[in-house]
């Protein structure tokens, strides 16, 4: 504190008489330093949060085509689209309150990936971890763990998929339909359900075909909590949408 007093006195002696000093005493100087410290801390926190969100977005699996997708730029041409949009908004709003899985089922180009990305982008803004991955990429990553040179194990990868706040598995139905894939999907969904971690499924298949592909056990797991099956039963509208 004595050094502050000496500094103020020295500054005062150097300032012309017609100029009023910013600090009249050590208390003013101390208050200014504290205020600047708070401003600096807030700036650092904002930068850290922005960097964290950029990192989360980078690791979210959202493809470049869908990176700017939001609820606001989702185009509505019929009541069905309005219904799935409202569900998606409510899903994000209640995400921290309720354990809830969902299945988006319908033909390509009906907006499933747009809303999935919009959900992911919204959750990342809430600092929730999010990952969307195609079933083919998922299985490819797991099979790479079989390589003796790979330090990662199948168990490690499945554990990582279990820990993310929301996992969305895309393109269910175009995989090879092997028994091993079914076992992996069941393990992931079973562990996530047991931990009350929500899972989303995107598929071109209807209920009967998806039930036959995955089996009743997996479908039953997906029904746990406040879960929802939404049919995107309209024609592709990609030609109508101008980004």
List, for residues 170-197, the tens digit of each pLDDT value. 989 876 667 888 888 999 999 999 999 9
- Identify whether 41 is part of a domain: yes
The CA distance from 159 to 147, in Å, is 18
From 130, 51, 97, 82, select the one nearest 226 (Cα to Cα).
Answer: 97
Predicted structure pTM score: 0.76
Statement to judge: residues 87 and 163 lie in one domain: yes
What would the pLDDT profile of 23-72 be if each residue is shown by its tens digit? 566 666 666 666 666 666 655 555 554 455 455 557 788 888 898 999 99
The reply to whether 243 falls in a domain is: no
Do residue 102 and residue 179 come from a single domain? yes
Residues 41 and 110 in one domain: no
Q: Is 197 left (phi over 0), alpha (psi -120 to 50) or beta?
A: beta
Residue 8 has pLDDT above 70, yes or no: no
Q: Are residues 48 and 115 in the same domain?
A: no
List 170's β-bridge partners, or say none: 134
Dihedral, CA atoms, 102, 105, 111, 117, nearest 10 degrees?
30
- Asked whether residue 35 falls in the same domain as residue 63, the answer is no
* Dihedrals phi, psi of 142, to nearest 5 degrees: -65, -45
pLDDT in tens, 107-130: 888 999 999 999 999 998 888 999
Q: Is residue 164 part of a domain?
A: yes
Residue 237 lies in a domain: no
Task: State the residue for tokens 């049919």.
Answer: 231
Q: Which of 55, 78, 99 is the last residue of a domain?
A: 55
Exposed, middle or buried, 108 (CB in 10 Å: 0-12/13-18/19+)? exposed
**Rounded to an integer, what distance in angstroms lies between the CA atom of residue 121 and that of residue 33?**
38
Q: Do 39 and 72 share a domain, yes or no?
A: no
242 occurs within a structural domain: no
CATH number at residue 147: 3.40.50.300
Count Cα neighbours of 124 within 13 Å in the Cβ-side half-sphere. 27
Taking CA 146 as the corner, what is the angle to CA 145 and CA 151, rounded to the nearest 5 degrees?
45
Question: Do 127 and 17 lie in a common domain?
Answer: no
Which residues constitute the domain of residue 219?
A: 59-232
What average pLDDT does this structure show over 198-213?
92
Number of domains making up the chain: 2
Residue 238's φ and ψ, nearest 5 degrees, are -60, -35
Q: What tokens were used for 27?
A: 């208390």
Q: Sign (positive/negative) of CA torsion 191, 193, 199, 202? A: positive
Could you tell me if 78 and 174 lie in one domain?
yes
- Residue-wise pLDDT for 120-162, tens only, equals 999 988 889 999 999 988 888 888 888 777 777 888 888 889 9
Give the span between the Cα atoms of 96 and 124, in whole angstroms.
13
Question: How far is residue 200 CA from its own chain's centroid?
Answer: 12
Torsion angle of the four alpha carbons 91, 97, 101, 105, in this order, in degrees rounded to the nearest 10: -10
- Whether residue 146 is contained in a domain is answered as yes
The H-or-E segment that residue 46 falls in is helix 26-58
122 and 139, same structural domain?
A: yes
- Is 119 within the bounds of a domain? yes
Q: Which of the listed residues 17, 34, 55 is the one where a domain comes to its end?
A: 55
One domain for residues 20 and 89: no
In this structure, the answer to whether residues 105 and 18 fall within a common structural domain is no
Give pLDDT, residue 12: 61
SS3 assignment, position 156? helix
Based on the domain organization, do 150 and 44 belong to the same domain?
A: no
């Amino acid at each position: 504190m004595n050094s502050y007093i000496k500094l103020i006195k020295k500054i005062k002696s150097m300032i012309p008489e017609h100029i009023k000093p910013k600090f009249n005493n050590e208390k003013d100087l101390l208050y200014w330093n504290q205020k600047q410290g708070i401003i600096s801390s807030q700036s650092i926190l904002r930068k850290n949060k922005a960097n964290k969100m950029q990192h989360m977005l980078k690791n979210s699996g959202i493809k470049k085509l869908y990176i700017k997708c939001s609820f606001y730029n989702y185009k509505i041409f019929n009541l069905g689209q309005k219904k799935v949009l409202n569900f998606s908004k409510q899903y994000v709003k209640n995400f921290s309150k309720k354990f809830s899985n969902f299945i988006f089922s319908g033909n390509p180009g009906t907006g499933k990936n747009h809303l999935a990305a919009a959900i992911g982008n919204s959750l990342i803004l809430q600092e929730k971890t999010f990952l969307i991955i195609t079933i083919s990429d998922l299985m490819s990553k797991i099979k790479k763990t079989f390589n003796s040179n790979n330090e990662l194990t199948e168990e490690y990868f499945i554990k990582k998929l279990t820990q993310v706040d929301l996992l969305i598995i895309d393109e269910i139905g175009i995989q090879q339909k092997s028994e091993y894939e079914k076992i992996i999907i069941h393990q992931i969904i079973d562990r996530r359900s047991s931990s009350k971690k929500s899972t989303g499924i995107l598929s071109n298949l209807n209920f009967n075909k998806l039930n036959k592909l995955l089996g009743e056990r997996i479908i039953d797991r997906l029904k746990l909590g406040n879960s929802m099956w939404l049919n995107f039963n309209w024609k592709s509208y990609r030609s109508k949408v101008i980004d």
